Each structure stands twice: as C-alpha cells, then as structure tokens.
C-alpha cells in the first residue's frame, strides 16, 4: 500500500513541476489546468512539499538514511514513465 | 582557435564517452544484474529452491561441522543459510594460515558437491574486476573507467546547458534529435544515482589509485587497514591461547534472541575457537541503514560473557561503511531493489544512446561514401556491446540449462558467455550495415523468449518444481527474460535501424552535393 501511495505522490509532484515548467506553462494556460499556471511558485512549493511527504512516508517504513536514498531511487522510474507518458510515446507507436 | 568552456567540455564528453563507453556499458549492465545475483544463483542451481531453511538448525549443523573438521583452526566464518541463499557457506583458517571453504546442507550439515556454476556471482565479479584478467589489472581498469565516468558525467552536466528547461523534453521518432533527447533524459532523471554509484565505486577502490596513504600508515601489512576500519582492537591480550571447551552454540543464539527478538543471522564468526580467548560474533541479516551497520553481538565463547561492542564506529569508519553500503545497497527491500535495477538499466540506456549518437553524428557529417575503418569499428563495437553482451548473458543461462557441469569440471557456462560475445562481434563484422541491428535483435528476441520455455521443460523433467510456490523463484527471472524479449521486439519493430537511417540521409546529402556541382 505504501508503495502505491508513494508512487502516486511522486507522480503528482512530477505533474506539478511539469505543468509550470518553463516550456509547458504556456500550454498549461490554455488547458484545463490553467489555474495552476496562475500560481507557478505555489505549485512548485506544493510539489516540493509532496516530495517531503514522500520522504516522511518512506521514513515510516525505513530508517531516515534509507528513506532519503529511496526517494531519489524511486524518482527515476516514476519520472521516466511520466516523461514517456507526457511525450505521447504510446500514440506514436 | 579558442573554444568556449562548454565546447571543450562537449569535446571531452564525447571522446571520453566513446573511448570508455563500451567498458562502462558492460560494467553498468553486469552491475545492474548483480542486484539480483542471489536470485540468479538460485535460478542456476534449481536444487536450492526446494531447500527449506531453519536458521537454528543451520547454525547448529555448521557449528558441529566446524567442531569436527576444524577444531584447531585460527578463525571460523559461517555464512548462515537464509531464504535467498539456502546453504551454509563456511570458511576457516587452518593453523598454517591457509583458508578452507565448504558449502553445507543447512539441515543436515552434509558437504554439498554442487556443479561448478558461479551463478550470479559471475556477473558480480565481472562487474568490478572483469573476469579473466588478473584481479589487480581488472580492478584497476574498472577504477579508471569509474574515474572517466565521473569526468564524463561532470562534463556532460556542463555541456547540457538547458538541464531544467529541457527536463521533461523527449522528442520521439525524430532521428538524431530523439537520440540526444533520450540521452539527456536518461542521464538527468537518474543523475543522483549515477553520481553516487560512480563516486562510491571509485572510493571503494581508493587503495588502487591512491595507495601511498595506506602504505604510510601500514608499511608492512597495508591490508591491515580493512581489519582496523571494521573492528576496534580491544586491550592487547598477551596470554597465549590455551585449549578450552566452548559453550554450545544454542546458548549464544538464545541469548542473542533475548537481545534482538526473533531475527535472522547473516554470519557468525569465531576467533581462536576452542581456546580460552575464543570470541564469537553474531551479525544480524537485516540492514537498518545505508552504512552497513547490522546489529552485532560478541561473546567470550568459553564463558558466555557478553563483550563490549568491537565495531569501529568512528566517523571515518562510518563514512567507509556508507560508501560500501550506498554502492551495494544491501539495505534495499524488493521494491527498492527493482528501482535500483531500473536505474542501472537507465545507465546502460544513457551510455548506449550516447554511443549511438556519436556514431550517427559522425556518419551525418561524413561527406563521402568511402570506407572509414574508425566508423566501421565503432558501429560494430556498438552492436556487439549493446546487443552482444545481453546475448552473451543469455548464452550463459542457456549453457546452465543445456550442459551439466560436474564439480571441478571446466566452467562451460563462462566459456559460452565469451564465445557468444565474440561470435556477436564477428557476426557484426561480417554483416552488411543495413542488416546489423535487425539480425541481432531477432536473435536476442528469440533467445530471450525461448529460454523461459526451456527452463520450464527442464524443471518439470528434473522434478525440481511441484507447485507454483516452488516455481516462483524461477518464474521471476523468466518474467524478466520475457520483458527483455518484449524490449527487443519493440526496438525491432518501432525504431528504424539507426545505421539505415544514417545511410539514407548521407545518400540524400551526397545526391544534393552532386546535383549542385553538375548544375
């Protein structure tokens, strides 16, 4: 259960950072997430807090040192799948 | 001509990356696989899978064996059987200083004569000392490669000027641009992992590249460092060892469990067994931090008195343990291990895309169709590493299922590994450019798809499995192999062979140049 929650939260944080990223924010303004583009700093801050929450959740499972490492290690596969998804790899196949 | 810092770094990045990319790819791939070395060993020794482990019995039988066969040894080590490695591995140092090693059945304490297979340990050893080379040379080469990797990573970071802007950018199916994007994405998203793993890999072998410090402090026995960094010397005992009976091991296991509760042991060591100075140390299996500081308890083995902690807890010792701990990730539970394995594969993808990008760029810049030995070799080496190495690894597993190697016989599995790897290179050299990738991808796909089926047939025919539970240790590796087959299929079907693409572009370019000159 904890892994599903952690993966979901990392995905959410990635999404937050992505919507207000330098390249994407213009498109976000015309999408249904337009509200997010009005508060880019707040969105980035919230995404950062979500990542901290992930670490806190992981520290319930492991020691503090392992949870810090685990956060960075788990970020890679989630980010990779996220990047494939937002770049519509599936649609081009 | 003066170049900017970024241009110089780009030059350094591409040429160092090319020179060491093939070796680094092999180190990364075997390293990633090493996260599952116990599982691979179990896959390759099916008789292990059916063994039930009761650690109390395992400890008792190993202890009894050593009492019978090595009572006068200087030192005992028992690698206690646990579910991932269900046999006792014992070592002892004989009175004349030699080491003996045995593998024991954890239930009966019988010596096991296993086949000569090295299992997952082959990939592990290859990862850090390149099998077949003398240890020092192999480790030195890996250390230099790690150093180059660190330089390549740093120069890559400096070269990639839009790390944050292009963080989420991956323009797929757009030729050279896609390779660059993929190289950037795979590098950036696992950058903390790459930096950590490279730096810790380099730091582990510090004594190879910076031996003078160790030689200065330990002029006569430099490797005394490794003893000192792990354990603190107690007050020097001047009394000579006198024969004395040790307490039964059950006495200690009961006391340890009173301290730790029900837990699993990783190892038990006994110094100067069967003397009044005998010390027995229990180390817990579970690692609760990144610094490999599993709980330890040490007793006087003759009196049963609990001794003070002998672990070296100094800052430098903790840093040293952290370096090992972070690199080997023994703290990782299954999900984390899968993520680490994925990060390792991402490293392979980063190196492979960099190598392919180098090759593609040079072919695009080439203005003639004349044969160029350098490009030819780079292309062939690329394919024999990126596809040839996984093929060789599959060959290693195939050999295990198809050839029975008795104990003491030459290890044909390792021969198969190298023969197939060389075969892949030779095939690549003989193959015309346009068929290069598709041919080897077809072989890889077929081999990866068929192996689980052969494995199932083998296990059923040898009566090694009788239920899903007993099949699971094999199935988990088989599922990975099918994923590899799927990846090969994806590459075969959806990515146009890079060489073909480059050739087409060059031909178009040449036609344009020729038309321009004739008109």
Q: Which ipTM did the prediction report?
A: 0.92
User: Which residues, including other chains, have CB under 8 Å from residue B145's CB and lie 6 or more apart?
Assistant: B20, B23, B24, B27
Q: In 3-state terms, chain A is what percent helix, strand and coil (to 5)? A: 85, 0, 15
**Is the distance from CB of B266 to CB of B79 less than 8 angstroms?**
yes
**Closest chain A residue by Cα to residue B193:** A73
Positive or negative: CA dihedral A17, B188, B480, B444: positive
Euclidean distance between CA atoms B417 and B29, whole angstroms: 14
Residues 145-174 of B with CB under 8 A from A: 164-173
Residues of B in contact with A75 (CB under 8 A): 189
Nearest CA to B359 out of B427, B443, B433, B422 is that of: B433
Pick the residue from chain B with its C-alpha nearest to A22.
B165
Distances A25 to A28, A85, A92 between C-alpha atoms, Å: 5, 17, 23
What distance in Å separates the CA atoms of residue B175 and residue B363, rounded to the nearest whole number?
A: 13
Measured between beta carbons, which residues in chain A are less than 8 angstroms from residue B340?
73
In angstroms, what is the C-alpha Rg of chain B? Answer: 27
- Per DSSP, the three-state class of B291 is coil
A24 shares contact with chain B (CB less than 8 Å) = yes
Q: What is the pLDDT along chain B (519 residues), one digit of tens a residue?
A: 567 888 999 999 999 999 999 999 999 999 999 999 999 999 999 888 778 888 889 999 999 999 999 988 999 999 999 888 888 999 999 888 888 889 898 888 888 877 778 889 999 999 999 988 898 899 999 999 999 999 999 999 999 888 888 888 888 777 778 888 999 999 999 999 999 999 999 999 988 888 888 888 888 777 788 878 877 765 555 677 788 889 999 999 999 888 888 888 999 999 999 988 898 999 888 877 888 777 888 899 898 888 877 777 888 888 888 999 999 988 888 899 999 999 999 999 999 999 999 988 887 776 666 778 888 899 899 999 999 999 999 999 999 999 888 777 888 999 999 999 999 999 999 988 778 888 999 999 999 999 999 999 999 998 888 888 889 999 999 999 999 999 999 888 876 655 566 566 666 766 766 666 665
> Sheet containing B87-93: which strands, arranged edge to edge?
B99-105, B87-93, B75-79, B265-271, B279-284, B296-300
* Residue B397 to chain A, least CA–CA distance (Å): 27
- Cβ distance A73 to B193 less than 8 Å, yes or no, reads yes
Residue B369: C-alpha distances to residues A75, B372, B383 (Å): 45, 9, 21
Interface residue B290 vs chain A (CB under 8 A): yes
Contact call for A22 and B342, based on CB within 8 A: no
* CB atoms B193 and A93 under 8 Å: no
Among residues A26, A62, A23, the alpha carbon closest in space to that of B168 is found at A23
> Rounded to an integer, what distance in angstroms lies between the CA atom of residue B406 and that of residue B114?
7
The CA distance from B404 to A84, in Å, is: 44
User: What are the residue ranges of helices labelled H in B50-134?
Assistant: 55-69, 121-129
Chain A residue at shortest CA distance from B191: A76
Helix (H, G, I), strand (E, B) or coil at B393: helix
Interface A-B, measured as beta-carbon pairs within 8 A, has a size of 77
Query: In what helix (H) or strand (E) does residue A5 lie, and over which residues does it extend?
Result: helix A2-19
What is the sign, positive or negative, of the torsion defined by CA atoms of B432, B434, B435, B438?
Answer: positive
Interface check for A60 against chain B (CB to CB < 8 A): the answer is no
Q: Which of A28, A66, A71 to mutate to test the interface with B (most CBs of B within 10 A)?
A: A66
Count other C-beta atoms under 10 Å from residue B27's C-beta.
24
What is the C-alpha separation between B231 and B75, in angstroms, rounded?
A: 15
Contact status of A73 with chain B (Cβ, < 8 Å): yes
A83 and B CB contact within 8 Å: yes
The reply to whether A62 touches chain B by the CB within 8 Å rule is yes
State how far residue A66 is from chain B, nearest Cα, in angstroms. Answer: 6
């Amino acid at each position: 259960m904890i892994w599903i929650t952690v993966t979901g939260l990392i995905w959410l944080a990635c999404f937050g950072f992505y919507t207000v990223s330098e390249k994407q924010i213009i498109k976000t303004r015309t999408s249904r997430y337009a509200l997010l583009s009005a508060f880019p700093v707040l969105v980035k801050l919230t995404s950062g807090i979500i990542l901290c929450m992930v670490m806190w959740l992981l520290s319930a499972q492991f020691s503090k040192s392992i949870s810090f490492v685990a956060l960075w290690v788990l970020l890679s596969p989630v980010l990779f799948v996220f990047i494939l998804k937002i770049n519509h790899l599936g649609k081009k196949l | 001509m003066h170049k900017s810092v970024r241009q110089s770094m780009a030059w350094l990045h591409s040429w160092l990356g090319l020179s060491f990319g093939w070796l680094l790819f092999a180190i990364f791939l075997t390293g990633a696989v090493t996260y599952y070395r116990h599982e691979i060993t179990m896959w390759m020794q099916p008789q292990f899978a059916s063994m039930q482990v009761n650690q109390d019995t395992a400890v008792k039988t190993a202890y009894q064996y050593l009492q019978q066969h090595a009572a006068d040894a200087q030192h005992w080590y028992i690698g206690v059987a646990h579910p991932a490695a269900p046999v006792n591995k014992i070592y002892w140092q004989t009175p004349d200083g030699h080491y003996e090693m045995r593998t024991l059945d954890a239930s009966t304490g019988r010596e096991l004569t296993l086949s000569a297979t090295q299992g997952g340990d082959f990939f592990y050893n290859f990862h850090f000392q390149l099998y077949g080379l003398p240890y020092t040379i192999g480790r030195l080469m890996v250390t230099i490669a790690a150093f180059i990797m660190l330089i390549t990573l740093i120069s890559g970071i400096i070269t990639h000027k839009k790390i944050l802007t292009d963080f989420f950018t991956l323009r797929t199916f757009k030729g050279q641009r896609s390779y660059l994007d993929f190289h950037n994405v795979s590098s950036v998203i696992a950058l903390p992992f790459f930096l950590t793993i490279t730096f810790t890999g380099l730091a582990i072998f510090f004594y190879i590249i910076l031996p003078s410090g160790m030689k200065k402090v330990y002029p006569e026995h430099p490797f005394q460092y490794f003893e000192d960094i792990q354990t603190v010397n107690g007050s020097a005992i001047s009394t000579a060892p006198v024969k004395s009976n040790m307490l039964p091991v059950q006495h200690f296991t009961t006391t340890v469990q009173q301290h730790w509760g029900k837990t699993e042991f990783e190892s038990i060591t006994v110094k100067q067994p069967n003397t009044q100075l005998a010390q027995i140390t229990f180390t817990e299996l579970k690692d609760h931090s990144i610094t490999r500081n599993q709980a330890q308890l040490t007793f006087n083995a003759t009196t049963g008195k609990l001794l003070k902690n002998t672990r070296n807890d100094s800052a430098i010792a903790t840093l040293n343990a952290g370096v090992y701990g972070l690199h080997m990730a023994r703290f990782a539970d299954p999900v984390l291990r899968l993520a680490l394995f994925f990060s390792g594969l991402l490293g392979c993808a980063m190196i492979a895309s960099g190598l392919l990008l180098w090759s593609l760029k040079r072919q695009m810049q080439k203005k003639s169709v004349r044969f160029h030995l350098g490009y030819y070799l780079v292309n062939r080496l690329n394919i024999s590493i990126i596809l040839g190495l996984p093929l060789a690894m599959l060959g290693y597993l195939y050999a295990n299922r198809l050839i029975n190697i008795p104990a003491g016989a030459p290890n044909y599995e390792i021969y198969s590994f190298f023969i197939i790897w060389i075969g892949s290179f030779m095939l690549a050299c003989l193959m015309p450019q346009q068929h290069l990738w598709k041919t080897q991808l077809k072989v890889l796909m077929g081999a990866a798809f068929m192996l689980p089926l052969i494995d199932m047939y083998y296990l059923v025919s040898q009566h090694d499995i009788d239920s899903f539970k007993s099949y699971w240790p094999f199935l988990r590796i088989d599922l990975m192999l099918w994923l590899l087959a799927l990846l090969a299929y994806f590459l075969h079907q959806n990515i146009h062979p890079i060489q073909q693409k480059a050739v087409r572009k060059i031909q178009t370019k040449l036609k344009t140049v020729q038309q321009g000159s004739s008109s």
